[in-house]
Amino acid sequence: MNEQQRELSKQTVPRTGVKKDFSRYFQRPSINDARKRGREDVQVHRDFAIGSSMKNIGRGKTYWIQTYGCQMNEHDSEAMQGIAEELGYAKAGSMQKADLILLNTCAIRENAENKVFGELGRLRKLKLNNPDMLIGVCGCMSQEEKVVNRLMERFQYVDLIFGTHNIHRLPEYLFNALMGKERVVEVWSAEGDIIENMPRRREGSIKGWVNIMYGCDEFCTFCIVPYTRGKERSRMPEDIIAEIRHLQEIGYQEVTLLGQNVNAYGKDFKDRDYTFGDLLSDLNKEDIPRIRFTTSHPRDFDDKTIAALSKRGNLMEYIHLPVQSGNDEVLKQMNRKYTRQSYLQLVKDIKAAIPGVSLTTDIIVGFPGETEEQFQDTLSLVEEVGYEGAFTFIYSPREGTPAAKMKDDVTEAEKKDRLQRLNAVVNKGYKRGSERFLGEVVEVLVEGPSKNNDQVLAGYTRHQKLVNFPGDSSYAGKIAKVRITEAKTWHLLGELVDEHA
Ligand code: 5AD
Ligand code: SF4
């Protein structure tokens, strides 16, 4: 254990009274260590503080954080922005002008990783022109052994490498990189703790993200996330509710509850019986006007959750429910732990409890060995459920995951063809999901002027549909009643309903 880790461990507030030994953390990642799930309990730290010697290390300098991947990464970047600003850094006008560049990376598919390596290639020139610039790589790719090895060998101008579990140590890393002028590499492979009071600089002031849990224990065979994000660990409900109350008090209208598998929320609590349905019921009593959540796992989506959602109020009628495949054999190979039939039953129960609910999903085509018949099952499931949107992907092998070792005889051309055919069906769902609102009056949370026309406002409905309608910017941050006049595939057009008419 080094000095800083010792200091940190002294400051911990154990959730269940067991102290953690920090000495088992390695500097470089190891997928084997990430695979091992320790029995030790998660600790909640509430005393994040920036030492006085570090307070001004960024004064007069600028930062740029480039974020790749999911909302979890976006939200992590908000914490890193908060930390950078507490250190005195100001946000740069562009990446090219920044003194500190952090790439918050995504490992979910190979093309996500390629984007990062491409960006790093471009940064080489910037660094040559400005050797004082600091370049850091963090996020999910840093948790992968092979990536860190490649960075160490081929990208020697990267000054900082740290992972998803130790963002709170960014001040020390920057301090060491600036003072020591040497490369800082620290990636913890085993899961981290929960750090409650990191500063955050949020991107918006109307909609905000709130972590409810970290990590994933599902181990879907295609997925790298359980290795890069560690074991499931839930924030305490009191902390979540306090954060949401605070956001509501300062004007936020909507929060998205974040977790890799929000339906497993609370299963790791040893001192209480409190799961996702309980959290939703409690949040349903809060004043924040809108709440949604992502991402759900069908296996853990229980009746208590459905019952809570049926109360509506501030709980939005929108659920993202990744199915991945419509074929039982493929689902088994994926280790999804549900069947086509049990998924369809869940959808039926959700639709009965929340009439008009909008469902979206994630689907992978070309999983190793997927046959045309198995793919047809996915197509028919998409029709049967009536999704109003889907993220569709070609399977991408991830080193260290079980599926990467499976025999894959589906050709690239076949995978692309399946993706196209799937997207055609999915797009019909988008359109159907728009058209059903024609002539209806809907509530739109107005975010501000639309991208292309400042006379037109843009916002989302409770079913997560994008609506554009003429109006002035005084509506920004308010919930407006809008009649839908035209349904496009990807968005709706409407007009304000005068409540006093
Ligand atoms: N290849 C393709 N898609 C993947 N996903 C996760 N891992 C992979 C992979 N190896 C998709 C899943 C998941 C979404 C976030 O990304 O559909 O739900
Ligand atoms: Fe990956 Fe499956 Fe966990 Fe989602 S539930 S993050 S797909 S392992």
Judged by its nearest atom, the ligand closest to the C-alpha of residue 322 is 1
Residue 303: half-sphere exposure toward Cβ, Cα within 13 Å: 0
Q: State the DSSP string of 297-311.
A: -GGG--HHHHHHHHT
Q: What is the pLDDT of residues 99-126, one digit of tens each?
A: 999 999 999 999 999 999 999 999 999 9
Are 156 and 170 within 8 A, CB to CB?
no
Find the 399 Cα to ligand 1 centroid distance in Å: 14
pLDDT band, very low/low/confident/very high, at 498 (cuts 50, 70, 90): confident
Task: Give the mutation target among 140, 213, 216, 395 for probing the ligand 2 site: most ligand atoms within 8 A of CB.
Answer: 216
Task: Give the mutation target among 362, 412, 419 for probing the ligand 1 site: most ligand atoms within 8 A of CB.
Answer: 362
- Residue 68: phi, psi to the nearest 5? -115, 150
Q: How far apart are CA 493 and CA 168, in angstroms?
A: 44
Task: Give Cα 420 distance to the centre of its chain.
Answer: 26
Closest ligand 2 atom to residue 223 Cα is: 1
Percentage of the chain exceeding pLDDT 70: 93
3 has a pLDDT exceeding 60? no
Pocket of ligand 2 (CB under 6 A): 216, 218-220, 223, 225-226, 260-261, 297
pLDDT band, very low/low/confident/very high, at 39 (cuts 50, 70, 90): low
Residue 237: half-sphere exposure toward Cβ, Cα within 13 Å: 19
Residue 269: half-sphere exposure toward Cβ, Cα within 13 Å: 16
Find the 260 Cα to ligand 2 centroid distance in Å: 7
Q: Whose CA is nearest to atom 7 of ligand 1?
A: 223
Identify which has the larger pLDDT, 40 or 277.
277
pLDDT band, very low/low/confident/very high, at 14 (cuts 50, 70, 90): very low
**Other CB atoms closer than 10 Å to residue 14's CB: what's the count?**
15
Are 150 and 121 within 8 A, CB to CB?
no
Mean pLDDT of the chain: 92
1 has a pLDDT exceeding 50? no
pLDDT at site 211: 98
pLDDT at site 5: 42
pLDDT at site 209: 98
134 has a pLDDT exceeding 70? yes
Q: Provide Rg for the chain, Cα atoms.
A: 23
User: What proportions of the chain, in percent to the nearest 5, are helix, strand and coil?
Assistant: 35, 20, 40
Are 253 and 287 within 8 A, CB to CB?
no
Residue 321, ligand 1, Cβ within 6 A: no
Beta bridge partners of 315: 291
Burial class (CB in 10 A: 0-12, 13-18, 19+), 78: buried
500 has a pLDDT exceeding 60? no
Q: What is the pLDDT of residues 175-219, one digit of tens each?
A: 988 887 678 899 988 767 899 999 999 999 999 999 999 999 999
pLDDT at site 13: 36
pLDDT band, very low/low/confident/very high, at 492 (cuts 50, 70, 90): very high
Residue 186 DSSP label: E
Q: What is the pLDDT of residues 475-489, one digit of tens each?
A: 999 999 999 999 999
Q: What average pLDDT does range 262-274 have in this prediction?
A: 95
Identify which has the larger pLDDT, 38 or 294.
294
